[in-house]
Chain A
Amino acid sequence: DGGITQSPKYLFRKEGQNVTLSCEQNLNHDAMYWYRQDPGQGLRLIYYSQIVNDFQKGDIAEGYSVSREKKESFPLTVTSAQKNPTAFYLCASLGQGHTEAFFGQGTRLTVV
């Protein structure tokens, strides 16, 4: 079945460590997105990529980095520069022709 997979579901890290969240899709979608969600809040866009080897900053990119070396994969690195990294992270993809966006089930990152 086609879909978008985030791993792991829960992640714990010590303060000051970089951590990379995985996002893989087999939907052949060109566009991929990373969002951050804090408790009781909406989704805030971190980075997005419309094509392989290209990506743009979203509204809250500071302290994060991404790469898009393959169409299927869009990993997000939460760096030590991110002041408050504990949050729920969601990845999404969107195909051509105004089909719906698909979301992963999210990664809950806790930094202690």
Chain B
Amino acid sequence: DAKTTQPNSMESNEEEPVHLPCNHSTISGTDYIHWYRQLPSQGPEYVIHGLTSNVNNRMASLAIAEDRKSSTLILHRATLRDAAVYYCIQVKAAGNKLTFGGGTRVLVKP
């Protein structure tokens, strides 16, 4: 199974950057790295995804290690609305099983 490893929780102050690490040591060459976040009592929402190059969008940036065995989601200026559980998953080119780990609970302090 495609399994990722993330810290259980992280804290940040409002307006400061947050760096969320993810290890995906079993990743294969065609697997994408996806990040989702989940607010309480809601379904997860898409944040960002990438294959090899670093990616930026309006929500976050994704930095992917050169060997692709790890990645970091960067929230540039955390707001209280960014408090959520963030999941990193491997998405295969075929046979997508979409297995989630426990995610990282991000706490943002005002």
Interface residues of A (CB under 8 A from B): 6, 31, 33, 35, 41-45, 48, 50, 56, 58-59, 88, 90, 92, 94, 98, 100-106, 108
Contacts and interface: CB of A to CB of B under 8 A. Distances in A.
Interface stretch (B13-21, B37-45, B67-75): B37-45
Interface string B78-95: 000000010100010101
B100 A105 contact: no
Interface in B20-37: 32, 34, 36
A70 to B, nearest CB: 20
A103 B41 CA distance: 12
A105 to B, nearest CB: 5
B98 A33 contact: yes
Decide if the interface of chain A is mainly helix, strand, loop or mixed.
Answer: strand
Contacts of B101: 42
Contacts, number: 62
Contacts of A105: 42-43
B44 A103 contact: yes
Contact of A103 (B43, B95, B102, B103): B43
Decide if the interface of chain B is mainly helix, strand, loop or mixed.
Answer: loop
Residue of A59, A90, A100 with most partner-chain B CB within 10 A: A100
B95 A50 contact: yes
Interface in B40-55: 41-46, 49, 51
A41 to B, nearest CB: 7
B24 to A, nearest CB: 15
B32 A98 contact: yes
